[in-house]
Amino acid sequence: MVEQVEIFEVGPRDGLQNEARAIPVSEKIALVDCLSQAGFKRIEIASFVSPKWVPQMAQSAEVLAGIVRVPGVSYAALAPNRRGFDDALQSKADEVAIFAAASEGFSQANLNTDIAGSLQRFGAVAEAAKGANLPVRGYISCVTDCPYEGAVDPDQVRRLAESLLEMGCYEISLGDTIGHANPVRIAALLDAVVPHIPAHLLAGHYHDTRGLAWANVQVSLDYGLRVFDASVGGLGGCPYAPGAAGNIATEGLHHNLTELGYDTGLEAGQLACAAAMAQAMRGVQSNV
Ligand code: HMG
Ligand code: MG
């Protein structure tokens, strides 16, 4: 039987949040509508954070209101606090994501609070989500390296993942935020995490430097992970992680996984269209 691997498309959020040009809502909606035809089960398209912190995501409600929703696709939004959750709920996001950091330096830079403070805010989001019957996904940033503090202790990631699961997250996405990980470091991380948290509750979210994201996916497959986040066209970066690379490109990841015999359920022609669209949005010629 062919094994399934799910690609969680995060391009319209993680990909676009870092773009300097103010991208019109109509372009964002067109990209999501194109992606909705490619076979994804989950697409992250919105972020209800402070518009002062991430101006590009300020029109998230309009994006959610303007897309053509395809049945069976869950349209996800980031929610950093209770206000973000209320906005996501009102805009009819199908699920929300909370996003903690494994290092104090990145938590301060990204969320203006320490890890303990962020968990308090996320607890309020998780509680409200439970009441509204909305699934919550948990991200952990800087799982191997922090742009401010360097190497991160894998046990700190494990403890944080356990806290997020206790809050009610249905899955933890492990973020190599700045694309500094390599297969040896990811193996050390998963050696610490997987004995405590089953692989089916984990996803890999690898930003791509020097092609290492694919190597990180491969080692993660060996540990049993079967969900990977990716951005169409390889868009991305994090505004609060200096030098952060884009996410692994969806179309390349799909190609490589298919070559290894995995089924992603995605349609390559539609991915190529979306990748060309994404790259045109940032003014880069598509080479797909
Ligand atoms: P703060 O300044 O500590 O918050 O920021 P505050 O409660 O003091 O509020 C400050 C202002 O923000 C107020 O407005 C609030 O109303 C407003 P003012 O009075 O100054 O006009 N505000 C909001 N506005 C809209 N939506 C909200 C909201 N909350 C407060 N939800 C805060 C705290 C969390 C808001 C801020 O730090 C923030 O927005 N951070 C988000 C940063 C971000 O989005 N980073 C990128 C996403 S994470 C990522 O990319 C990593 C990931 O991909 C995984 C990986 O790669 O590792 C997920
Ligand atoms: Mg990211």
pLDDT digits (tens, 9 = 90+) for 82-115: 999 999 999 999 999 999 999 999 999 999 999 9
Give the separation between CA 117 and CA 272, rounded to whole angstroms: 41
* Residue positions counted in the chain: 288
* 9 strand-pairing partners: 43, 230
Distance from the CA of 144 to the center of ligand 2, in angstroms? 13
DSSP reduced 3-state for 219: helix
Q: How many CB atoms lie within 10 A of CB 249?
A: 26
Distance from the CA of 268 to the center of ligand 2, in angstroms? 23
Tokens of 273: 């269209």
DSSP reduced 3-state for 277: helix
Distance from the CA of 111 to the center of ligand 1, in angstroms? 6
Measured CA to CA in angstroms, residue 249 lies from 37, 89, 102 at distances of 17, 29, 24
Q: Is residue 28 part of a domain?
A: yes
Average pLDDT, the chain: 95
Q: Is 175 in the pocket of ligand 1 (CB under 6 A)?
A: yes
Which CATH number fits the domain that encloses residue 240? Answer: 3.20.20.70
Active site members: 238
Q: Is residue 38 part of a domain?
A: yes
% of the chain residues with pLDDT over 70: 98
Distance from the CA of 82 to the center of ligand 1, in angstroms? 11
Range of the domain at 216: 6-281
Q: Are 168 and 136 in contact (CB under 8 A)?
A: yes
Measured CA to CA in angstroms, residue 63 lies from 109, 149, 262 at distances of 27, 35, 32
Q: Is residue 286 part of a domain?
A: no
Q: Is residue 171 part of a domain?
A: yes
Q: Is the dihedral of CA 101, 48, 35, 21 positive or negative?
A: negative
Q: Is residue 245 part of a domain?
A: yes
Give the separation between CA 11 and CA 208, rounded to whole angstroms: 13
Q: Is residue 148 part of a domain?
A: yes
Query: SS3 string of 224-274?
Result: CCCEEEEEHHHCCCCCCCCCCCCECEHHHHHHHHHHCCCECCCCHHHHHHH
Q: Is residue 169 part of a domain?
A: yes
Q: CB neighbours of 199 closer than 8 A, spacing ≥ 6?
A: 223, 224, 225, 226
Among 49, 99, 125, 144, name the best residue to mutate to test ligand 1's pocket (greatest count of ligand atoms within 8 A of Cβ): 49
Q: Which helix (H) or strand (E) holds 204?
A: strand 202-206
pLDDT tens by residue, 243-278: 778 999 999 999 999 999 999 999 999 999 999 999
Measured CA to CA in angstroms, residue 33 lies from 66, 118, 138, 231, 274 at distances of 9, 33, 25, 15, 9
What's the pLDDT band for 180 if we cut at 50, 70, 90?
Answer: very high
CA-angle at 215, arms to 238 and 98, nearest 5°: 35
What's the pLDDT band for 288 if we cut at 50, 70, 90?
Answer: very low
Query: Strands 42-47 and 171-176: what pairing?
Result: unpaired
Q: Are 110 and 238 in contact (CB under 8 A)?
A: yes
Domain count, the chain: 1
Tokens of 23: 């991208």
Q: Is residue 287 part of a domain?
A: no
Q: Whose CA is nearest to atom 20 of ligand 1?
A: 52
Query: Strands 150-151 and 202-206: what pairing?
Result: unpaired
User: In the prediction, which pLDDT does 122 show?
Assistant: 98
User: In the prediction, which pLDDT does 243 show?
Assistant: 74
pLDDT tens by residue, 50-84: 999 999 999 999 999 999 999 999 999 999 999 99
Tokens of 118: 């962020």
Which residues make up the environment of ion ligand 2, defined by Cβ < 5 Å? 14
Measured CA to CA in angstroms, residue 59 lies from 74, 87, 88, 274 at distances of 19, 12, 12, 20
Q: Is 50 in the pocket of ligand 1 (CB under 6 A)?
A: yes
Q: CB neighbours of 212 closer than 8 A, spacing ≥ 6?
A: 179, 181, 182, 183, 206
* For helices 250-259 and 212-222, angle between their N-to-C axes, nearest 10 degrees: 50
Among 9, 44, 50, name the best residue to mutate to test ligand 1's pocket (greatest count of ligand atoms within 8 A of Cβ): 50
pLDDT tens by residue, 201-235: 999 999 998 889 999 999 999 999 999 999 999 99
User: In the prediction, which pLDDT does 242 show?
Assistant: 78
Q: Is 118 in the pocket of ligand 1 (CB under 6 A)?
A: no
